[in-house]
A = this chain, B = another copy of it.
Amino acid sequence: MKKPATAARQLAPSLRAIPFLKGTTNTRTELLTDRQREELTRIGTRLRLPSRMVIYREDVPADWVFAVVEGAVKSYRDLPSGKRVVGAFLFPKDLFGLSENGKYVATAQAITRVTLYRLPIDALTELLLHDPGLQFQFLAKVTHELRDSQRRAILINRRDAAGRLAMFITLMRENMPRTPEADREVPLPMSRSDIANFLGLSLESVSRASAELERRGIVKFESRHVARILNPARLAKLSAAV
């Protein structure tokens, strides 16, 4: 079996997480081997979707699981009151679309233009049952997301808006592939409103928290979708779980 070319490999689905077992680093690492990525490529379809496209809606039959290759996705639920709760933002190497009782539990929508891998749930199930090593990596990935979700619960427990936003920026920086030259630039592809719905704050509070972070010289919002970290130490201190 030939090793896929670099270009092809970048377009194949992949998963990234902090593994269960002790490793040398504390960072997220690629979980899949080239072989496993090829297997997934075989059963899946690559899609390119424009910004704002709804990928699936809550409560519809869940026939596919998705892996993000490029771009950003949000997963949310609209409540009867009209409020929207953003449950997660998904970035490259994230998995989404896990179902409950055969139905999606949230709506997924593209924030930017995205490239996805769409995996039919039946074929994926089959594949996982025949490749325990691959399944183990899926287990690691879902476990990682569970911990992330619990971390977010801690985040939301804070009642100071500026602290929550600081924590959010820190989270986003960790999620993004870290490019050395842009180490202090954190892309925030989502809207302020999305951030508010994720943090459990009002849109206005997020705006005021942004102003406060700038006033204190911690972060500068270079544009709506790019935050530059001016003072990493103070950001870390403010982000630290209080």
Contact = CB atoms under 8 A, between A and B. Distances in A.
B154 A156 contact: no
A150 interface: yes
Number of copies: 2
**What is the predominant secondary structure among interface residues of chain A facing chain B?**
mixed
Chain A, interface residues (CB within 8 Å), range: 35 or more
A21 B136 contact: no
Given A128-B136, A146-B146, A100 B20 contact: yes
B154 A153 contact: no
Contacts of A128: 132, 136, 139
Nearest to A75: B150
Interface stretch (A4-12, A77-85, A173-181, A218-226): A77-85
A3 interface: no
Nearest to A25: B101
Interface of A: 18-23, 26, 61-62, 77, 79-81, 83, 85, 87-88, 98-103, 105-106, 121, 125, 128-133, 135-136, 138-139, 142-147, 149-150, 152-154, 156-157, 159, 200, 240-242
